[in-house]
Structure 1
Amino acid sequence: MKKFIKEFREFINRGNVMDMAVGIIIGGAFTSIVSSLVDDIINPILGLFGGMNFDQLKWNILGEVTLNYGKFISAVLNFLIMALVIFTIMRVMNSAAAKLNHNKEEKPAAPTTKKCPYCKTEIAIDATRCPHCTSMLEETKETK
């Protein structure tokens, strides 16, 4: 039992579990904001065109049995608005990350080797004699 509790504690204390918990809490709060936007602002505006509140649209099937398609349309609007907001946030974050990575790109490193003009083998850039053909090398701009 102690091993189980220890493993559970390690699982809970991992960073990604805590991040997920924070994300769920913020997502719940964000859901209520978007629901209020749709229910309290968008639906009444759309109701102006239909002459009634949008989320009160329903179809009487039989007696008191109703099909509340207006609430379904409100839920679809909630989803679309949330998806749009999340897409926009992710797009901005990806754009910012791309700019940061673009600014951090390193300049090409200075060369550390050169070719021997006589035997064409690769040698150290500061070499004065080729180790392969033993030719004396003239100083170039690279070695100064």
Structure 2
Amino acid sequence: MKMLQEFREFAVKGNVIDMAVGVIIGTAFGRIVSSFVSDVVMPPIGVLLGGVDFSDLVYTLREAVGEEAPAVVISYGRFIQTVIDFTIIAFVIFMAIRFINRLKRNPPPVPVVPAPPLEPSAEEKLLTEIRDLLKAGR
């Protein structure tokens, strides 16, 4: 029963929930960026490169044999697409974190003025008098 309670405490901690929300939003953001790259960025790049569609770029290792054995290919076009997706996502995240860090910059420190010394207590005054009398030789 104790382990179940510990798990419940772990699962409902703010950090775990924040992380779950971040993963969900990150996944959705990744889909948006993938769509942006494949549907908006890559077509003009393909036109500039002579009408190349990166997702169709493959290297065929073995041709298809009838309907039973499909072709064996290396889809390097999809890899290029994924690298471009990653680069754009990494750049956007970098810019967002950079912006957030600028907002979080600490204001200049406030100078610390030392507090005036406290008045010695009656006991300290008495001990000081005794010390002074002992020094004087009385």
TM-score range, shorter chain: 0.7 to 0.9
Instruction: Tell whether 2:119 aligns with 1:112.
Output: no
CA deviation after TM superposition for structure 1 residue 50, in Å: 2.9
Q: Give 4+ residue runs of structure 1 displaced > 4 Å after superposition.
A: none
Q: 1:54-65 alignment to 2 at 5 Å?
A: 54-63=54-63, 64-65=71-72
Task: State the Cα deviation string for residues 106-129 of structure 1 (Å, max 9, x = none).
Answer: 2x133335xxxxxxxxxx399xxx
- Assess, with a 3 A threshold, how the Cα gap between structure 1 residues 11 and 111 changes in structure 2: closer, same or farther: closer
Could you tell me how far apart the structure 2 residues matched to 1:66 and 1:80 are?
A: 25
| Structure 1 vs Structure 2 CA RMSD | 2.1
Could you tell me how far apart the structure 2 residues matched to 1:57 and 1:84 are?
A: 25
Q: Partner residue of 1:102?
A: 107
Q: Partner residue of 1:84?
A: 91
- Assess, with a 3 A threshold, how the Cα gap between structure 1 residues 125 and 85 changes in structure 2: closer, same or farther: same
SS at match of 2:107: helix
Higher relative contact order (CA 8 A, sep 6+): 2
Q: Percent identity?
A: 42
TM-score, scaled to structure 1: 0.71
Conserved in 2, the CA contact under 8 Å of 1:43 and 1:55? no
Could you tell me how far apart the structure 1 residues matched to 2:40 and 2:115 are?
A: 66
SS at match of 1:61: strand
Could you tell me how far apart the structure 1 residues matched to 2:78 and 2:50 are?
A: 15
SS at match of 2:112: coil
Q: Which has the higher helix share?
A: 2
Q: Partner residue of 1:66?
A: 73
